[in-house]
Structure 1
């Protein structure tokens, strides 16, 4: 594309926006949320997310004014504060660890307010309220979201001479520069509502303003206290507050959404005169329950393990493959013991490394501790102990349905891969939200999205995806591309459930996840030195990046950005934000044109890793192909190039490589990669004997990997979505797309769960492609069918139908309902 053509395209794009009436939508409105809702809907939504109202919207029950001056009243569901001297309205209860959400509207003119938290009240003192405050700064200084210590130590973050104690002046320059950066400086909406979110866990304090984190600081001065809201004392000024909610922490999702299932041993064998080994057949997260010996003294050891070595549990396994030992005392109890597994401190940490580790997801304390294991070895009990009465208490989603899904095809190894990956999704539901295996037990956005896709195709009652989305919106992680994954998660949930009301309540928050705040005038995301060295992930672990060269404009990052913009446009339209839908679409078009002009190498027909390098990695090509960014005239060249490169990416990125291949005629190659010999395929996992998918292809590619990582279970969604070919066409599945990819297989059959009921597919591909399709009663489907070059017609229930040839596929004009038989002849 010439520069003139590129510039013209950008001008046309923005003229289109103006012509559509969206010219008033600026980048600020697309990049940060607008707090524009209140009332019963908000109360119901926040309650669904685990929040408790601090203000009932009707009166000031639960609040008090410790000052002799100041007025607080309720007006149209808001708290209005009026005064001619500073005062604070405070709660009657104290709080320790929590996530607090408050919306503030500053008055015009000179104004300053804030939210007190873990604060103290001394009714006898002149300055009655003191402690932590999240600043709401209406002045040109723009320190909104700063951490202030009211009537005590002054400014903590940022800090400044004369207003801070010496210990905080050490970071004065750094903190002031931080608040001068545009994203932080402009976080406050000076003339509208602003949502403040304050999270306190142990000594870790986080403050967010309109979705932008403004403070993350450790301070152990106060562990609990009151919540308060401030009038700064300007006479005649009214400060407005609404939507005040608090969520006590920690939250334990497994409490209501996971249950323990007692499982019998598969085999029991005596290893030696002191030790008996019990095999439960597959790895699961749990512990055991066993009878207390009727007699005996002393102790016995219970060993738990994921891996065997020379026929016994490996007690020094590699990476984070799990092993642990619990000591039990004999002869001091009656009945049954629950034998907990050892506790890994990292799996229960609630305030770990400040920028690396959000809180671990805890399991219910009444379970006792759990870990992933398949084998138990009990050392110190007699041979005649009733080992057959020992049960594993395995934790799975309380609504998991093994019969909800099925898949079978002409490839035995592919069937075994399906079984492995389906069980991997089931086994990793133990926490009630999707977590990264057992290393940290925290959700990551990239991991969670892959889990979500596979959970939808394997189970028929999936609430965990939406629950994990809400968890991650409150506990996000650091990689650049993980932020757009939140847009993907919301879009996938909306498409699966059709729940536009759910989407409406989360749409504004998603604006912080598109990376628009890092864009230049050409619509492309910029990466500074820190982004290139740490945040831009491309793939993980690092040695799986196929030699990717990092530059200021990263092709992979921008592919994610463009896909997020496209999905935001769809979701904006769904929630009635037509102008924003057009603006997101226009920015997606502009960024696509810019990326294709500057990163697509016209000489080779493939993408460079970024602007400023001629290196072309696998990742720089399959992500744009998977996201529909590649121009139609270049798709074949990119697909062909990918097919020559093999699996030069991680288990995580393989999801997107497979998506790209299946959607662009490379289905046979995709299946060959899944089932390939060597150590970079799911066949390798099967051959290793694992029962849950791995975090990486092999230990040599990630020496610290764990063996219970569901992001390695992509075939659980790839086989139903592409080989059976079942995907939603509209939100809620009232219309589906049935697009089977045969991939060299002679037959495939299975059930794909949907909210309307299962879709049943059974196809054979010999001389004729023949498919029996059974749809739920409330669903219609469009058909996109495979057809060799010598095929001429499509028949439905024996009658020829209108269809259009597209390459080696047939697009059927009519929709189908119920149970039908389709043939391509």
Structure 2
């Protein structure tokens, strides 16, 4: 090919422009908000400037920064950062001229691109601010400034306060229409959603009435199920019609139970919602021109994480769980389903991990934790989960401010006041004094005047004498293994949080206490004859739960793991959808990926496949209707596979807060080829995995400012390891080949048997 000399300058300019553009940061966030300039009206996106919306007197909704000293973050192209400069101004024109009247950080030598605190004068209320950032690469070369981001502050900012949030309404059309009989038309939207109905009707008379049925389930003959089981939803609505063509959006009547004390209420700008998939309309003297619904949810990036494997059922379960996280975000908090709409700590913990796995959104977890601190629920283990949620928040977002604010409360929620001399805790030894209950903000909840151990839910005979329950026969004692396994995990998390805050005295204290509890746990709860974990002190029974919680939290000595695994295999899925999270955690943490995948993709009654088989398009509260008769069909605590697929099958977990260092330890098992895109606070990780007994191949892309530590699974140390086509030395640890300190960019790793 011949290139003329006249063309070369143009080519050089184009390539230079592309290179410069690639050095500009992108995906800016102010106080973790991804798009604070987007404006909504009653949940519908509007293409108007934020500056105009701020002056509208409350007509429009938008996310607001409520901190006087917000936190900034950004994403880099495939490079390391050695310094940054942030400009904050009161108008766009000033920033366009690279000037700033509010704050100019100057060149700050730092590789930090997450959790960067604003250090200018306190931001004022109800004001628009403009900011941008540029960075220097690892060679000291400056890049271009990022595109300007604008955000607004709230009416009552504080030094630190969580940002506000918006709910959105997405219009949707039915995917199918059918006629179950001559008098009715059924519209199927394909998936269940917390929604509002909208109809366009042409009526012949002014006194006609349209009857419609909204529901989550249908009968075998194709009608909306008007008598669904448990808390599966159904609603009949009668609409008085006006003569001629009109659009109707009937209000959803609030439910008596899910709008009472402790429930999260829907904001007035959105209105009430009902979960439904199907709409059935009774024919009459009118013409239905259009049927649609508005799905209500929090903002959710459907493209943030994508996953595809060679295992069809695993892909279906991923889709089920990912959609669950989006659909159940309708209130802006992690709630337990439509029956109650109450935040519970256990629901929040699983929801948080699966939310992080499906979208790089961090404010909902913070908002829910902040709420739960003052609105605790009754199970002992749930209180301890507050600390785990706080640690996950910091680990994934890189933002420690909420944990700092809540630190005194988190110390109380750890329940150390209930400990005896060897460190083990109990709720049944008279230590739940009024002062203790006040310290954890506890008031009577569901007739429970104090905390009470739960293990799993529901218990036997809950909702009927034939209900077997989900506790695997757990025998409760004064000192229980599951509670103390959680206590150990909480102590470890508190030690790490205290260290991050610079509180070395507390960090050392919690580290010592964790070691003491570990010793006491193994002495009291591990049976010397069976080498299994018993349910409680003085109890001979060993449940599945006592063993998988101990395994998940690292309390089983290495030499006893095989026996515990054998016992776990013998029990199957003898736990609830909540317990399944920690069962899978335990299995993957000891590299039992094949059995974990077997449970994930099972078609038994106790499986995620069974939820779909029974008609749900979100994860259920239980494995099926027979296991919890009052269950609902939209419960995110059943969505554990979403985070297990990312954290274990793809093997992606942050090592340092904010993904500065990431572990890539895939456990694909027999899934076939895997393709994955996973968005983090630092940018998107991409994986392509091909795994056979003879070869494992990983194509990996790491975003800028992220260092990877790679662990390639292989069954033998008699193998060759290569990186980007060159044979390298790698340490074999008995299950993986370790390749550490991998720089950003695209890399190909292979391990294969030697000939």
Corresponding position: 1:540 with 2:457: yes
Aligned to 1:361, which of 255, 258, 264?
Answer: 264
SS in structure 2 at match of 1:746: coil
Of stretches 719-728 and 814-823 in structure 1, the one that deviates more from structure 2 is 814-823
| Superposed displacement of residue 457, structure 1 | 0.8
Change (3 A) 1:409 1:782: same
Partners of 1:537 and 1:752 in 2: CA distance: 34
1:619-645 Cα deviation digits (max 9, x unpaired) = 001101101121222223222321222
| Superposed displacement of residue 383, structure 1 | 6.8
Residues 305 and 375 in structure 1, CA contact (< 8 A), matched pair in contact too? yes
Partners of 1:679 and 1:415 in 2: CA distance: 19
SS in structure 2 at match of 1:456: helix
- Could you say which residue in structure 2 is the equivalent of 1:798? 725
SS in structure 2 at match of 1:415: helix
1:334-373 Cα deviation digits (max 9, x unpaired) = 74211233321111113xxxxxxxx211112343321100
- Could you say which residue in structure 2 is the equivalent of 1:339? 250
| Superposed displacement of residue 471, structure 1 | 1.2
- Could you say which residue in structure 1 is the equivalent of 2:280? 377
Give the structure-2-normalised TM-score. 0.72
Residues 325 and 342 in structure 1, CA contact (< 8 A), matched pair in contact too? no
Aligned to 1:564, which of 473, 490, 503?
Answer: 490
SS in structure 1 at match of 2:506: helix
1:593-633 Cα deviation digits (max 9, x unpaired) = 00101111122121111111111101001101101121222
Corresponding position: 1:392 with 2:319: no
| Superposed displacement of residue 803, structure 1 | 2.2
Residues 163 and 363 in structure 2, CA contact (< 8 A), matched pair in contact too? no
Partners of 2:244 and 2:381 in 1: CA distance: 53
Partners of 1:774 and 1:638 in 2: CA distance: 37
| Superposed displacement of residue 792, structure 1 | 2.4
Residues 669 and 691 in structure 2, CA contact (< 8 A), matched pair in contact too? no
SS in structure 2 at match of 1:777: coil
1:348-403 Cα deviation digits (max 9, x unpaired) = 113xxxxxxxx2111123433211000011224347421xx2210110112x1111
| Superposed displacement of residue 812, structure 1 | 2.5
1:109-154 Cα deviation digits (max 9, x unpaired) = xxxxxxxxxxxxxxxxxxxxxxxxxxxxxxxxxxxxxxxxxxxxxx
Aligned to 2:319, which of 419, 430, 453?
Answer: 419
Aligned to 2:193, which of 284, 293, 300?
Answer: 284
- Could you say which residue in structure 2 is the equivalent of 1:699? 625
- Could you say which residue in structure 2 is the equivalent of 1:86? none
| Superposed displacement of residue 674, structure 1 | 1.5
- Could you say which residue in structure 1 is the equivalent of 2:209? 299
SS in structure 1 at match of 2:380: coil
Aligned-CA RMSD value = 2.3
Corresponding position: 1:641 with 2:542: no
1:41-76 Cα deviation digits (max 9, x unpaired) = xxx99xxxxxxxxxxxxxxxxxxxxxxxxxxxxxxx
- Could you say which residue in structure 2 is the equivalent of 1:763? 689
Change (3 A) 1:513 1:534: closer
Partners of 2:228 and 2:590 in 1: CA distance: 41
- Could you say which residue in structure 1 is the equivalent of 2:748? 821
Residues 304 and 341 in structure 1, CA contact (< 8 A), matched pair in contact too? no
Corresponding position: 1:669 with 2:595: yes
Residues 274 and 382 in structure 1, CA contact (< 8 A), matched pair in contact too? no
Corresponding position: 1:447 with 2:347: yes
- Could you say which residue in structure 2 is the equivalent of 1:528? 428
Corresponding position: 1:497 with 2:402: no
- Could you say which residue in structure 1 is the equivalent of 2:679? 753
Partners of 1:294 and 1:325 in 2: CA distance: 20
Structure 2: gaps spanning 5 or more residues:
1-30, 33-154, 433-447, 460-468
- Could you say which residue in structure 1 is the equivalent of 2:67? none
SS in structure 1 at match of 2:513: helix
Aligned to 1:463, which of 359, 363, 387?
Answer: 363
Corresponding position: 1:781 with 2:708: yes
SS in structure 1 at match of 2:689: strand
Partners of 2:474 and 2:274 in 1: CA distance: 36
SS in structure 1 at match of 2:317: helix
- Could you say which residue in structure 2 is the equivalent of 1:596? 522
User: What is the correspondence of 1:36-47 to structure 2 with a 5 Å cutoff?
Assistant: none
Residues 217 and 615 in structure 2, CA contact (< 8 A), matched pair in contact too? no
1:287-323 Cα deviation digits (max 9, x unpaired) = 1111243432232222110011121111111110111
Partners of 1:790 and 1:382 in 2: CA distance: 77
Q: Count the aligned residue pairs.
A: 567
- Could you say which residue in structure 2 is the equivalent of 1:510? 410
Aligned to 1:406, which of 297, 303, 306?
Answer: 306
Structure 1: gaps spanning 5 or more residues:
1-43, 46-244, 248-252, 351-358
Corresponding position: 1:264 with 2:181: no
SS in structure 2 at match of 1:269: strand
1:414-453 Cα deviation digits (max 9, x unpaired) = 1111011100111000000111110111110000110010
- Could you say which residue in structure 2 is the equivalent of 1:320? 231
SS in structure 1 at match of 2:351: helix
- Could you say which residue in structure 2 is the equivalent of 1:680? 606
The higher radius of gyration belongs to 1
- Could you say which residue in structure 2 is the equivalent of 1:83? none
Residues 310 and 673 in structure 2, CA contact (< 8 A), matched pair in contact too? yes
1:574-611 Cα deviation digits (max 9, x unpaired) = 11110000001111110110010111112212111111
- Could you say which residue in structure 2 is the equivalent of 1:623? 549
Residues 717 and 734 in structure 2, CA contact (< 8 A), matched pair in contact too? no
SS in structure 1 at match of 2:610: helix
